[in-house]
Amino acid sequence: MTQRRLIDAAFALATSTAIVLVAIAASIAVIAIAGHSPGAALSAIWEGAFGGKDEVAGTLKKMIPLTLVALAWIVAFSARRINIGFDGQITAGGITAAVVALEVHGLPAFVHLPLAIAAGVLGGAVYAALPAWLWAVRHVSEIITTLLLNFVAVQLLNWLVRGPLQESTHGFAETDLLPSSARWPTMIPSTSLTWDVLFIPALVVLVAFVLRRTIVGFQLRLTGASEEAARYAGTRTVRVGALAIVGSGAIAGLVGSSLILGSESGVMTDGFSANYGFDGIVVALLARNSPVGCIPAALLFAALRQGGGLMEARVDVSSSLVQITQGLVVVLLAGSPLILARLGAHRRRVVEDTPAPAVEPL
């Protein structure tokens, strides 16, 4: 069994690597067709992502939400539940974290910061609980409800930063500066990187352990593999699926608290989720739903985000090329099972049509 798992993991890694290389090659072709130097563009992306202390810190900073959202997707999808409402849940978590940070006073940092983080986790979980309840009780597709609740969260945030939570001068769509007691301290001086980057290894290990080494993880995987078999084994599949959605929302809420409490500006603005919800899903798909595989996949997309700005400034290639590359990855990921199935069928036909070697009599 272990050998088989290693072979499957190696094959998944090879497939994902090939998809990334094809997507990058196609993006390079687009750059060349547009009349720009592909080498200069790639060099700018590399330098913008890893060229110095500030660039590396920025890349690691962008890895945090990408990795955590990917883990949130894995938690839900392990029970075959499709949560695409991460942007809304991130927003809900950021709002609740900001409210606790701004409205709770007189606490030391070792109490205030964990309290704001917990509020963010709770906000994301509660916001995911609504589609979980609708799916479990009313049989409404969680795909539709989680998607639509993204737009509700956006409008709620827009109202808050222009109304009850707007800064005191009422000149900008943002909150007042969050107190230092509720903000993540800087990890590397004079950079944007804060100590919440430690969530990456902690959550990767936690999710991998829960899914593989606990009864809860076994129930999630069994429900995802076969609901009928899970029910036969005594698993309450509806409850497990609902908890999977709520658990993924809790992780998304943690992302929201990280984006607010670890931001350089120290304020909450509209649109702070920066589309990390959908990009994180792509990271999880590229990682083949492997918690450990989320780290290199998130590093790749974080580097593209971080280096895209310098590429645009230096080579005059639009940073939207990053979105093109991500889109190509999604298309190739979606089509890879069909391609591999066709290749496998062709290989089997070749083997079947090949005549067996003649055996000479002794």
Per-residue pLDDT, 217: 93
> Is CATH 2.60.40 the right assignment for the domain spanning 13-336?
no
DSSP letters, 203-227, are: HHHHHHHHHHHSHHHHHHHHHHH-H
Q: 255 near 69, Cβ under 8 Å?
A: yes
Per-residue pLDDT, 145: 96
Sign, CA dihedral 11-17-19-22, equals negative
Per-residue pLDDT, 150: 96
Question: For residues 136-152, b (16+ Cβ closer than 10 Å) or e, as one string?
Answer: beeeeebeebbbebbee
Give the global pTM: 0.90
Question: For residues 210-220, b (16+ Cβ closer than 10 Å) or e, as one string?
Answer: bbeeeeebbbb
In tens digits, what is the pLDDT along the chain, a chain of 362 residues? 466 767 766 777 787 788 888 888 888 888 888 777 888 888 888 899 998 899 999 999 999 999 999 999 999 999 999 999 999 999 999 999 999 999 998 899 999 999 999 999 999 999 999 999 999 999 999 999 999 999 999 999 999 999 999 998 888 999 999 999 999 999 988 899 999 999 999 999 999 999 999 999 999 999 999 998 999 888 899 999 999 999 999 999 999 999 999 999 999 999 898 889 999 999 999 898 999 999 999 999 999 889 888 888 887 777 777 777 877 887 777 766 665 556 555 455 544 555 555 545 54
Per-residue pLDDT, 354: 54
Question: For residues 4-16, b (16+ Cβ closer than 10 Å) or e, as one string?
Answer: eeeeeeeeeeebb
Plot region of 186 (φ>0 → left; ψ -120 to 50 → alpha; else → beta): beta
User: How far, CA to CA in Å, does 71 sit from each of 74, 248, 291, 303, 319?
Assistant: 5, 8, 6, 19, 26
Per-residue pLDDT, 18: 82
Q: What is the spatial distance between Cα 37 and Cα 42, in angstroms, rounded to a whole number?
A: 9
Q: What residue ranges do the domains of the chain occupy?
A: 13-336
Q: 325 near 304, Cβ under 8 Å?
A: yes
Per-residue pLDDT, 2: 64
Q: Which amino acid is at 314?
A: R
Return all residues near 325 (Cβ < 8 A) that are at least 6 apart. Answer: 23, 24, 26, 27, 304
Q: What is the spatial distance between Cα 219 and Cα 198, in angstroms, rounded to a whole number?
A: 28
